[in-house]
């Protein structure tokens, strides 16, 4: 699978999260060798846990499956730009590549939400001493689809 295919899988997971009443975010973690290590979806509304963002549920799933070592050097594909909490978790987990779809400013314009941060994913990661590359936004129109459908069903937060 290539970057676009893996990002599209994150978009599918976001669509599923949105259909379940959660904000529409999905994430896929891929080991350096190309194997999918874990997937995650936003589950904040379903669980009431504010840390149940897609990136964190994917990282947690990898660790719970005994695959923590596979996170070192991995790539995370996120349907939306990771927030500061998730960006920091990427650094702590040893993930070295972030590929995201919609930029925070773009999806926030569609679904709203507060609080908001002025720090981008790249800014948070750059403030660390980790060597992590960040690519995004990618497939902008495709990644905004789940946000548009969520907003149509649930309105803006």
Residues belonging to the active site = 55
Describe the crossing of helices 84-93 and 54-64 by its angle, rounded to 10 degrees: 30
Q: How many residues are recorded in the chain?
A: 157
Judged by DSSP in three states, 143 sits in helix
Cα dihedral 71, 72, 74, 76 sign = positive
Secondary structure letter of residue 82 according to DSSP:
P
Secondary structure letter of residue 134 according to DSSP:
E
> Do 99 and 136 touch, CB atoms closer than 8 A?
yes
């Amino acid at each position: 699978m290539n970057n676009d295919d893996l990002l599209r899988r994150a978009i599918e997971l976001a669509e599923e999260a949105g259909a379940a009443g959660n904000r529409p975010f999905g994430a896929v973690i891929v080991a350096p060798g190309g194997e999918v290590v874990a997937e995650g979806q936003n589950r904040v509304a379903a669980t009431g846990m504010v840390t149940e963002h897609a990136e964190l549920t994917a990282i947690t799933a990898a660790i719970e499956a005994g695959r923590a070592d596979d996170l070192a050097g991995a790539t995370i594909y996120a349907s939306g730009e990771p927030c500061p909490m998730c960006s920091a978790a990427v650094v702590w987990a040893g993930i070295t590549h972030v590929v995201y779809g919609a930029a925070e400013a773009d999806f926030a314009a569609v679904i709203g939400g507060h609080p908001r941060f002025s720090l981008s994913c790249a800014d948070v990661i750059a403030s660390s001493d980790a060597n992590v590359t960040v690519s995004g936004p990618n497939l902008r129109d495709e990644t905004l689809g789940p946000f548009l459908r969520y907003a149509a069903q649930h309105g803006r937060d």
